[in-house]
Amino acid sequence: MTETHLDIPSFDDYDEVNSPRPAATDFDTVVDGAMSRRNFLGGGVAFGAAALVMGSTALTPLRAQASDRLGFNAVATNSMDTVTVPSGYNWQIVAKWGDPLWSGAADFEQETRGTGETQERAFGDNNDGMAMFAYGERTILTVNNEYTNRSIIYGNRDSKLPENADDVRKGKAAHGVSVVEVAQDNGHWSIVKDSPFNRRITADTPVALTGPAAGHDLLKTEADPSGLSALGTWNNCGNGRTPWGTYLACEENFNGYFSASADGWEQDAAQKRYGINKEDWGYAWATADERFDVSKHPNEPHRCGYIVEIDPLDPTSTPKKRTALGRFKHENAEVVLANNGQVVVYMGDDERGEFLYKFVSAGSYTVGGDNTDLLEDGTLYVAKFHDNLRGEWLALTEPATGMNNKAEICVMTRQAASAVGATTMDRPEWISANPNKIEAYCCLTNNKNRGKKPNKGGDETPVGGPNPRAGNNYGQIVRWVPDGGDHGNTAFAWDLFVVAGNPHVHEDDYAGSSNITKENTFNSPDGLAFDSTGLLWIQTDGKYSNEGDYVGQGNNQMLVGDPDSGEIRRFMVGPRECEITGITWSPDRRSLFVGIQHPGEKGDSHYPDGGSSVPRSTVIAIRRDDGGLIG
């Protein structure tokens, strides 16, 4: 069946509809601010729009050099409806949306795309962040199922939307997390049906609320007057993993599932900041589950937007929402240790003009000790970048934020960060720390509003610092080195690893930094992970029109960067209308697992099965033809 071609707004665009550009914000005023700061610095490092062509230290820190370290032949861009990998590599499908996890469960049905019951026993939709865990000889893959494309999962309905309670049940079950044992047979990976580790966590699975906000009035609802236990997790984007063997799922666009049925309902300032609106984004969950009606249950949205800690090796364990790590549109959670053993978690808030955070645990990690509650308590910090390539982490304390207690800071985290004057960023996506060096990298995927419009809290978004271009449609990757070689330090130095751009179209700032060429051009870096050798894998979630500003960039892709030389080379191209997101390795590092999310989101893909089949998100494994190590 051919999908209707729908012009589907992105997550950010949904919020945009409800947050139009205020007339009071004058683009010129904002740009003038950045310019005068340049003048103030006089003669020093140049910032802002002109800096790219001037070759400033900040914006072209690296000159790409040919190196053998990347070790593969670059893949050219294309717009084909399949996966392309370099010569000498091969790929295979490991798991697809709707694959049953138990032998009694039904196979995916093309015509109906499943029911509530079959989806509850099957691999979820739109796989995103993932991590592999070893249990003896067994390998357990834990995968976020971020969201659903309504036009695909409900493609059997005339409206292309959920039309009854079972449709909503199916949608809720397609979200959450899939825990699946996988095994290799003759080099081919597949799901081990009926494994005792197999588990589906959905939007209805009981979860515990933990940390400073647990039990606070803001988290209490009619169904849970204790404020200690909630139901489910959804819209988990990137992920994290802890040194003590747990998985972190990161709740991102949780707001799009809520709606308000009451006549005359209007959002308050806090709801506006988090994008809670009268209409949901087409999921219709409130039609079958009243807790998603904010006019009846206004505290329910306070119970999501967190990092969720899951023990993938204990299928009976209760997932824990860790409120200490703050409430916002979490992208991923990169866990490292400070030199004194405190746990440091770097986290981005993926919305235009929102912030970059880090959490530092109160307790310290001890090898072989009880580390199970290290994410229960600690201090949240937010990043402030200065134009002189220095930066600092500002603690979100009661005196600094003007808030009454830690619980409020953990629930209204965006407002707390605004109060301390954090730097508004170009949509912080994944963060990854270099295993060979004390430094971390973050994808700033794009921000069409940079220099044009404040964030939803009214914070200005001036051009400058790590966000150097107005109307930034290509994105960049910022990196920072904490002072003293210690992730626990609150001071850091920063620069830009790459400013993406398109030299086919532009010769100015929008051509990108010097390590962008016509051969490796891309837009909208999103997924990001270092491998064990210290190479940086970059995944994109951007425009795939291959027209206009995006000519020669083709479908979304995955590239590999050398953090030392700055060289970037394209490793993979995905099928049509997908994004590439999620990356993990087999324990022997001979298989690289990568996520293909939302192929055909606008109706132009039949990946992976071809013909007239329904497009399905998949986890694939990439291997070298010679069986060698891959990262």
Positions that interact with Ca ion (CB under 5 A): 237, 526, 541
Nearest approach, Cβ of residue 529 and Ca ion (Å): 12
Residue in this structure with the two tokens 């009661």, named with its chain if needed: 398
> Other C-beta atoms within 10 Å of 10: how many?
11
567 binds, among Ca ion, ligand FEO, none (CB under 5 to 8 A by kind): none
Q: For the CA atoms of the chain, what is the radius of gyration?
A: 23
Q: Which CB atom, from 3 or from 350, has the smaller least distance to ligand FEO?
A: 350
- Which residue type sits at 459? D
Segment 227 to 286, residues that bind ligand FEO, using CB under 6 A: 237, 252
Q: List the one residue out of 569, 561, 570, 500 whose CA is nearest residue 536.
A: 561
Applying CB under 6 A, what is the total number of residues that bind ligand FEO?
A: 7
Q: Which of 120, 331, 426, 577 binds ligand FEO (CB under 6 A)?
A: 331
What DSSP string runs through 614-631? PP--EEEEEEETT-----
Q: Which CB atom, from 126 or from 515, has the smaller least distance to ligand FEO?
A: 126
Q: Which CB atom, from 253 or from 423, has the smaller least distance to ligand FEO?
A: 253
252 binds, among ligand FEO, Ca ion, none (CB under 5 to 8 A by kind): ligand FEO
59 binds, among Ca ion, ligand FEO, none (CB under 5 to 8 A by kind): none
Nearest approach, Cβ of residue 90 and ligand FEO (Å): 28
509 binds, among ligand FEO, Ca ion, none (CB under 5 to 8 A by kind): none
Nearest approach, Cβ of residue 466 and ligand FEO (Å): 17
Phi then psi for 371, rounded to 5 degrees? -105, 10
Question: How far apart are the C-alpha atoms of 619 and 95, rounded to whole Å?
Answer: 5
H helices then E strands: how many in the chain?
A: 10, 28
Question: How far apart are the C-alpha atoms of 511 and 319, rounded to whole Å?
Answer: 45
Nearest approach, Cβ of residue 308 and Ca ion (Å): 16
β-bridge partners, 135:
138
Q: List the one residue out of 229, 232, 174 whose CA is nearest residue 203.
A: 232
Residue positions counted in the chain: 631
Q: Which CB atom, from 541 or from 562, has the smaller least distance to Ca ion?
A: 541
β-bridge partners, 236:
251
Nearest approach, Cβ of residue 526 and Ca ion (Å): 4
Nearest approach, Cβ of residue 524 and ligand FEO (Å): 10
Q: Which of 3, 309, 429, 495 binds ligand FEO (CB under 6 A)?
A: 429
Question: How far apart are the C-alpha atoms of 553 and 556, rounded to whole Å?
Answer: 8
Cα 158 to Cα 64, 161, 285, 546: the distances in Å are 51, 8, 19, 31
Classify 23 in phi/psi space as left (phi over 0), alpha (psi -120 to 50) or beta. Answer: alpha
Nearest approach, Cβ of residue 237 and Ca ion (Å): 5
Nearest approach, Cβ of residue 171 and ligand FEO (Å): 17
Segment 111 to 150, residues that bind ligand FEO, using CB under 6 A: 146
Question: How far apart are the C-alpha atoms of 501 and 521, rounded to whole Å?
Answer: 6
Q: Which CB atom, from 361 or from 618, has the smaller least distance to ligand FEO?
A: 618
Our finding on whether 351 is near ligand FEO (CB under 6 A) is no
Question: How far apart are the C-alpha atoms of 289 and 259, rounded to whole Å?
Answer: 11
280 binds, among Ca ion, ligand FEO, none (CB under 5 to 8 A by kind): none
**What x-and-dash track marks residues 511-550 binding ligand FEO by CB under 6 A?**
---------------x------------------------
Our finding on whether 350 is near ligand FEO (CB under 6 A) is yes
Residue in this structure with the two tokens 């830009």, named with its chain if needed: 496
Report the largest interatomic distance among the alpha carbons of the chain, rounded to a whole angstrom: 71
Q: Which CB atom, from 293 or from 526, has the smaller least distance to Ca ion?
A: 526
Q: Which residues form the interface with ligand FEO (CB under 6 A)?
A: 146, 237, 252, 331, 350, 429, 526
